[in-house]
Structure 1
Amino acid sequence: MIYWIEGEYIPEALKEINHFMRDWRTDDVKNIDARTIDIMTAAHNLTGSSEPYMLISGYRSPKTNAMLRARSSGVAKKSRHLLGEAADLHMNSRSVNQLAKAASACRAGGVGRYTSSSFVHMDCGPVRSWGS
């Protein structure tokens, strides 16, 4: 999807992205930070793949985040997902390490490797990394 042209974000495209990345459990929609979308796009371009991402998690409502925290110690209480600043992504044609390497090469936010669950977390927060 084209969401940016000649230095300008396309509002209709961002609205569609916000809806796609909504909390599917509650159907709540939040504006996704464009920096996160930019990181996702740059990392995808670096993979050299035409396969789209599979979105595991985008925006999370407080209710969903609390439910996930109760099930797993790996869910942050103040997750960037709550702010619309994060995405958990998977690609069949690329390994977790390949995706994480591409995201890290952007030097633009947080990158988490969740190898056992087969996804990579990308966010527009401080540059940092975790997982193996």
Structure 2
Amino acid sequence: MAAGFLRGGGDIRRLKMYNGRTGEKLDMIYWIDGQYLGDAIREVNHFMRDWRNGQVKQIDTRTLDIMTASHNLLHADEPYTLISGYRSPQTNAMLRSNSSGVARNSLHLQGMAADLQLRSRSVNQIAQAAAACRAGGVGRYSGSNFVHMDCGNVRSWGR
């Protein structure tokens, strides 16, 4: 199912990301002419794994579409820096014990969320692009310089 909010997406959807934790880079076309590409999605799943323990989970393609649409709306050439993709229950529990900003039932646990940043764009710019998709949750974490995007209910928080 192609998300109608991917304005200007054309017939190709592409994700560009960098993972500062692992040093890995991803520049991947994951959707062509209405079809998600299985091999590409598997590579994205691996890239967005829980880097602390290597656990991989299927990333919801709706989240990938929101990320791509936001990136397109920003007219950004640089890749996203992935702060957090999938989180295992163990990692989420550890993060919760160290921070009040980590949800017990985080959508990261279900592969439905990503925390991202772009050096060339502010948290507010990225969050406005994500919110313009009207397709999920958008959290501004200005103090930590990242934006949370998920494919859950439409809502926003932070500043």
Please classify the TM superposition score into its range, dividing by the shorter chain length: over 0.9
2:126 pairs with 1:71:
no
Query: What is the CA–CA distance in structure 2 between the aligned matches of 1:99 and 1:48, rounded to whole Å?
Result: 11
2:126 pairs with 1:90:
no
Q: TM-score, normalised by structure 2?
A: 0.83
CA shift for structure 1 position 89: 0.1
Which has a greater percent of helix?
1
Query: What is the CA–CA distance in structure 1 between the aligned matches of 2:76 and 2:48, rounded to whole Å?
Result: 21
SS state at 1:59 partner = coil
Query: What is the CA–CA distance in structure 2 between the aligned matches of 1:75 and 1:5, rounded to whole Å?
Result: 35
- String of CA shifts for 1:55-102, please: whole Å, max 9, x gaps: 000000000000000000000000000000000001000000000000
Q: Decide which of 77, 98, 104 is 1:50's aligned counterpart.
A: 77
Query: What is the CA–CA distance in structure 2 between the aligned matches of 1:24 and 1:78, rounded to whole Å?
Result: 19
Which has a greater percent of strand?
2
CA shift for structure 1 position 36: 0.2
What residue is the counterpart of 1:62 in the other structure? 89
User: Structure 1: where are the runs of 5+ without partners?
Assistant: none
User: Structure 2: where are the runs of 5+ without partners?
Assistant: 1-27
Query: What is the CA–CA distance in structure 1 between the aligned matches of 2:39 and 2:64, rounded to whole Å?
Result: 14
Query: What is the CA–CA distance in structure 2 between the aligned matches of 1:77 and 1:26, rounded to whole Å?
Result: 19
Q: Decide which of 127, 132, 141 is 1:105's aligned counterpart.
A: 132
| Equivalent position amino acid for 2:80 in 1 | Y
Q: TM-score, normalised by structure 1?
A: 0.99
- State, as a whole percentage, how many aligned pairs show the same letter: 70
Query: What is the CA–CA distance in structure 2 between the aligned matches of 1:45 and 1:71, rounded to whole Å?
Result: 34
CA shift for structure 1 position 35: 0.2
SS state at 1:32 partner = coil
What residue is the counterpart of 1:12 in the other structure? 39
Query: What is the CA–CA distance in structure 1 between the aligned matches of 2:53 and 2:132, rounded to whole Å?
Result: 34
